[in-house]
Every structure is written in structure tokens, then in C-alpha cells.
Structure 1
Amino acid sequence: MRNYLFIFIVFFLSCKQKEEKEMQVETSSKDTIILTEDQLQHLTLSTTSLSLQKIDVSQSLSGKVVANAADYVSISAPAGGFVKKINFLPGQRFQKGQILVILEDVSYIQIQEDFLKNKVQLKTNQLTYDRQKELYAQKSTSEKVLQAAESEYQSSLVLHRSLSEKMRFIGLNPETFTSEKITRTVEIRAPFTGIINKVLSNTGKFLSPSEPIFEVINPQGFLLEIKAFERDLPYVKVGQTIEYHTLTQKASSDKARIISIGSMVNEDGTIPIFAQPFQKTDLALGAFVQTLVHTENREVEVLPTTAIQNFENKWYVFIEHQKGTYEMVEVEIGQQDATYTEIKNASRLQSYTIVNKGAYQLLMGLKNTADQE
């Protein structure tokens, strides 16, 4: 004959009044609880069973905004000169075509002077060459004179093209340049829309040719570097779309595509994953981001999450053997969505009825009994 141990557990009996009522429950083993008919009437229980469901699993991973090495660009002086004015500070954004810095030097004047003198000489030599061609056609001049005129014209044309490129190199347009526009300053303009990362010079400093003035970043190449642990890797793949938001824009999210998954583990045990944002938003380099990685829907055997209880870092469900008799069984859980949880060791629960609503009360009753033994 069974020896039953009687204990008191608390049940909520009324919706109008949260009144505690003592109940005696019986246990036939440390994992089984037996309720009387009267106890069942005062305890709201519902049951469920295993089912196949497709669950949309989301992994929350953290990361930060980084830039490709190719997106770090040095802005240098095209020719030697003194820094007259720097228009931007580190961290500031600039637009394509904006003046970043103004340089000045007498050497710029010399380039402009040489260009204008050559422009006049080229026109003179061209007229002379054209005249000599007409005279030669009329046999009024010798071939030697024609060749000399042609040589002078070609030489001045080569020099003109060379000086035109020098003018473009220092930011001046040779097509529209006239003597009224001669200046000792040149303006270095932004080649694209970007961000100042470093200012490497100062007002009054003399810069040698090609010496860098700024280090700028092209934000079109910004990437998300996401930290993933080894356990997360089965749920991510190249080409997968993820959602992300910055810590200052939690209310809205944007999307990015995973373009690379690292093959080496960092010192902190994480593996880097790189994603490229679909839209070029105003991301700040180094800003922290929170990402949501949606895995593919998988059809797995699940139970409602409310049926699964945690006790001492283990997960349990209650099997209903018959009305009033319930056995606690440990389960191994997998992925979860908002409603269901995957049961990895589902084979041992096949064909059983599982307690859904009321599972927590059964757990408390059983464990309180064990504590008093």
C-alpha cells in the first residue's frame, strides 16, 4: 500500500479575490504528483501535446560600425605650399565639392604665368603653321620652312597640354582660366561626401608635395562588424539579411546583408561577421549596433513555451498519465520563438499528454514536497 506524504501548497482560487487556500497533495515518487478530484476542481489545468511547427528563430548579436581599409583616404597637397585655412575638424561630415583647405604659394603663380604665356605662343605658332601650309601649297615657300613651323607648333602644343594638366592638378580650370584670375592660393575640394577622420596639418605649415593634410573616410563603404560565438554560427550564412539599430535609434531599424564570416576566433572567443547596410544612413564610425539575425524557418517538434518549466537550471514538463496523476520529465530544449519551444529529446514524449496551463503550480507542489522529506 502506498505511503502518501501530505503537504500544503498555495493555489489561487478566485478571480475576484486573491485568497490563499491550503491543499493537500500526494506524491508517489519524487517526480510524480497526485491530485484529488477536489484539488483538480480548484486548479485550472490545460493540456497539450507535441506538434510539428515551423519556428522563426531570431538571434540577437551585438557589433559596431567599421570601415574598410580601402575607404580610408588621404587628402594631400598637389604641390608644395603653405596652409592658409583649414575648414573642417575631426569627426565633421563634408559634401562632395566643398572646400576642405586653402593653400598659398608663389609657385602657383608661376604655373599660371607659364600656362598663359604658352597659350599665347601656341596661338601664334598655330597661325604661323597654318600660313606656311597655305604658302607651301602655292609653292611660295620651301618644305624646310614648313617643317620648322610645324615643329614649333607641335612643341608649343605639347607644352600646352602639360601645363593644362598642371593647372588641373592644383585645382584650376585651364579651359576658362584668364589673366584676370591669377591667384596665389589654391582650393582643395572634397572628392566625395565623407567624414574627416584626422587633421594632419595646421595653419601656417609648409606642405611638401603629396604630404597628407587630412585622413578622411568614405561612409559608402561602412560595414557592420558583428560579434558571434561559435554556437551562433549555424544560424548565419553569407547573403542572409539581418536587422540592426544603433543604441541611439532603438525605435527604428535598418537592414543589412551578411557578406563575410570570419574563420578565426578572437581572444574574447567571438568570430567576426561582416554585414553591408542596404541603405547608407548616417552611421557613425565605431558606433555600437544591436542586430537581429533571422534564421530560416525549420519544422521541428515543439511544445508551447508555457508548458516548459525551469528548475535549478534544468527544463521540465509534466506528463499526464491519468486524470490527477502527473509525472515531471526533464527535456532538452532548442530554439524558441514567441509561442513555441523546440524539444530536442521529443521521442520520449511521443503519444503523451502534456500539462500546459498549471505546469508551474505542479512544479511548486512537487518541489515543496521534496523539501519537506
Structure 2
Amino acid sequence: MVERVRVAARVRAKPGFSAAILAPVSGQLVAPSGRELPQPGKRVEAGRLLALLRPNFSEAAARVAQADGEFNTAKAALDQAEAAYTRTKKLAVEEAKSPRELQEAELAYQSAKARYAAAAGLLATFKQAGGVAASDTPLLMELRAPIAGVLNSMAAGPGEVVSANQPVFTVLNPESVWIEASIPEASIARLSTGKDALIEMAGQPGQFLSIHGDGRGQLVSLGLEVDLATRTVPLIYEWKNPDGMLRVGQSVTLHVETTRAEEALAIPSAAIVEEEGRPIAFVQLAGETFEKRDVTLGIRDGNWVQVLSGIREGERVVTKGAYAVRLASVSTAIPAHGHVH
């Protein structure tokens, strides 16, 4: 038997498996030469050229001038730092410079290299598909897919204008998703070490998918901090989703394992009634003769409940009409067992 806590959950994109491609400046979308813009639902590879962006003239000119200026400044600083480092290294060999001075020169050189690489990368974004734009050709910027996946959305088509920092495309890789739930603080201590769970999807009540079944899922993390507002802890599972069974944003129900009993005596929960705040059940002795038993209950698994004491294996209990049998026993003042007509 397995007892579980039932919590609402949501499917979300696994980090690194979803990306938005933003317009770096405002401008007009242009299809790559000889190709059309990809449509939603189409698979794309990482680095795939999705579209070109023709920036507004004034903004493009300003950005090019800025990038070019930063590149030239970084190049001059790199040349100067490299020369200083080479000179200091030579003098250090002759013991004319201290190890500390050599270390400082090397650090300055490495910092200059990093600034130069960043400036070169910025300038390289302003280019045509075939190379850097010449003065007599329109400036174009490339919009490429940063990850492999499926084109999930596009905000504009060829010829349409987009604004700076506007998401133009979104790419989603649905082959692996996260299922995230919030576990009530009171249930955390009851979670089993395995923390297995069942997925129940909306519209399919009573049908379950095991997280750990067939090796499709695994526990990612159980949060270390309780949310002060909701008094819950985040629980995250990863689910291999090559068939697209789960969709990002979808609401599901998780039944998270709390306790497990490998060998247990269990009866239907419908057989349990309460009498003065304690659980009892009625055992059939013979025909229409029943005996009332105080029972000690353990874990619950769906419509079944574990019995720790009060009933022995093989005994028959009343599951339908158990409450009516209790009323009959009370009305005839039978303390432990009775005969019901």
C-alpha cells in the first residue's frame, strides 16, 4: 500500500529548453535571401537563421557608431596592455621587475583581451548574412535560434516593424519538461525517501502515469525553504516528454508518495464508520450476525485503508450499509455484536 498527498502542479519548460529571440533594436523584419520565415510548429536547429532585421536608420547609425568606437578603443587598449605585458615579462626574467608587477601586467592584459572580445562581438552583430554591411548596402542584423527545438511563436511577419527588446520568436524544446508543485509544510516530513509520484491529467480522472515508471522521470529537487506566504515548499520532477504528452503551462495533479507498506492488511474505507470519535468496523460472523470491532488504522491508499489491529486476515467486513448496521446496533443497545433483520 502507498499513501499519497494530492497537490496541484504545473508543467513548465525545463531551464535551457526554452528561449525568446528579442529584437536588439527597433526595425523591420526581413526574410533571409531565398527563404521564407519559419512558421510556428517547425523544428529548428541551434544557430538556425530565423530572420533578418533592418534597423531604423537613425538608431542603426548610432548603434554602429557606438559599437565601432568601443571596438577601436578596446583594440588600442589591448595593443597597449600586450606591449606592457611583453616588456614586463622580459624584465622579470632579468629580475628588473618583481613577480607582483608581472602579475599585475598579466591581469591588465587579460582584462583588455576580454573587453576587446566583447566589443568585437557587439560589432559583429551588425552584419549581413554574407558579411559586414558595406556603406552602400542596407544594414541587416541576424536573428538566430539559440537552442534546438520547435518554433513556438512569432510576433511579426516579413515587412512588419518590431520594437527594441520585443520577443520576435520563441523556441521551445518539449522533449523534457519540469513538473512543479507546492507541498504543504505539514506534509514535508511525511514524504518518503523515494518521493515517487503519480501524474493525473485534467479530463482523465482516475488514470495515472508514474513519474519513475519506465525511467521517464526523476526527482529534481525538494526545496530547502518554506514560502512565508503559502507555507509550502517547491517540489520539482523532470519528465522525458518526446511524445509531447505534457504541454508547457498545462495543469496536472500530482499524487506524491508519503508512506509505503509492503505487506499490509487493508479493508475498503467504506467499511469504516465513526463512533464517539473512534473508528469502528462491522465483521460478519454468520448470515446476518455482525460484530462491532474497534480498529486501529494505518495508511490510506485510494479507497483502501490499512488496519493495524481489530480485524484478522480472511474476516468479512460490511462495506455497503455499514452506517445502517451501526444505527441498528445502537437502537437495539447491542454493545459488541448484533443480529440485523
Q: Tell me which interval the TM-score lies in, with the shorter structure as reference length.
A: 0.5 to 0.7
Structure of greater relative contact order (alpha carbons < 8 Å, 6+ residues apart): 1
Among 199, 203, 206, the residue aligned to 2:160 = 203
| Equivalent residue letter for 1:103 | L
d(CA) in 2 for partners of 1:342, 1:241 = 20
1:368 paired with 2:328, answer yes
Structure 2 partner of 1:275: 237
Q: Secondary structure at the match of 2:44?
A: coil
Among 328, 331, 335, the residue aligned to 2:292 = 328
Paired residues, number: 257
| Equivalent residue letter for 1:224 | I
| Equivalent residue letter for 2:226 | M
Q: Go from structure 1 to structure 2 and tell me whether the alpha carbon gap of 1:65 and 1:322 turns closer, same or farther (over 3 Å shift).
A: closer
Q: Secondary structure at the match of 1:285?
A: coil
How far the C-alpha of 1:225 sits from its partner, in A, is 1.2
How far the C-alpha of 1:342 sits from its partner, in A, is 1.4
| Equivalent residue letter for 2:281 | V
Contact 2:41 2:150 in 1 (8 A): yes
Contact 1:318 1:326 in 2 (8 A): yes
Q: Which runs of 5 or more residues in structure 2 are unaligned?
A: 32-36, 69-118, 212-216, 334-341
- Alpha-carbon displacement from aligned partner over 1:17-38 (angstroms, at most 9, x marks no partner): xxxxxxxxxxxxxxxxxxxxxx
Among 34, 47, 62, the residue aligned to 2:8 = 62
Contact 1:63 1:225 in 2 (8 A): yes
% same residue:
14
1:189 paired with 2:144, answer yes
Q: Go from structure 1 to structure 2 and tell me whether the alpha carbon gap of 1:93 and 1:370 turns closer, same or farther (over 3 Å shift).
A: same
Q: Which runs of 5 or more residues in structure 1 are unaligned?
A: 1-54, 115-161
d(CA) in 2 for partners of 1:170, 1:248 = 51
Q: Secondary structure at the match of 1:370?
A: helix
d(CA) in 2 for partners of 1:358, 1:242 = 31
How far the C-alpha of 1:224 sits from its partner, in A, is 1.0
How far the C-alpha of 1:287 sits from its partner, in A, is 1.2
Q: Go from structure 1 to structure 2 and tell me whether the alpha carbon gap of 1:269 and 1:343 turns closer, same or farther (over 3 Å shift).
A: farther
Contact 1:72 1:215 in 2 (8 A): no
d(CA) in 2 for partners of 1:238, 1:215 = 41
| Equivalent residue letter for 1:95 | R
Contact 1:235 1:295 in 2 (8 A): yes
With normalisation by structure 2, the TM-score equals: 0.53
Contact 1:103 1:185 in 2 (8 A): yes
Q: Secondary structure at the match of 2:324?
A: helix
d(CA) in 1 for partners of 2:286, 2:20 = 77
1:103 paired with 2:53, answer yes
Q: Go from structure 1 to structure 2 and tell me whether the alpha carbon gap of 1:185 and 1:336 turns closer, same or farther (over 3 Å shift).
A: same
RMSD: 5.2
Q: Go from structure 1 to structure 2 and tell me whether the alpha carbon gap of 1:166 and 1:353 turns closer, same or farther (over 3 Å shift).
A: closer
User: Which is further off, 253-262 or 360-369?
Assistant: 360-369
Among 29, 44, 62, the residue aligned to 1:84 = 29
Q: Secondary structure at the match of 2:248?
A: coil
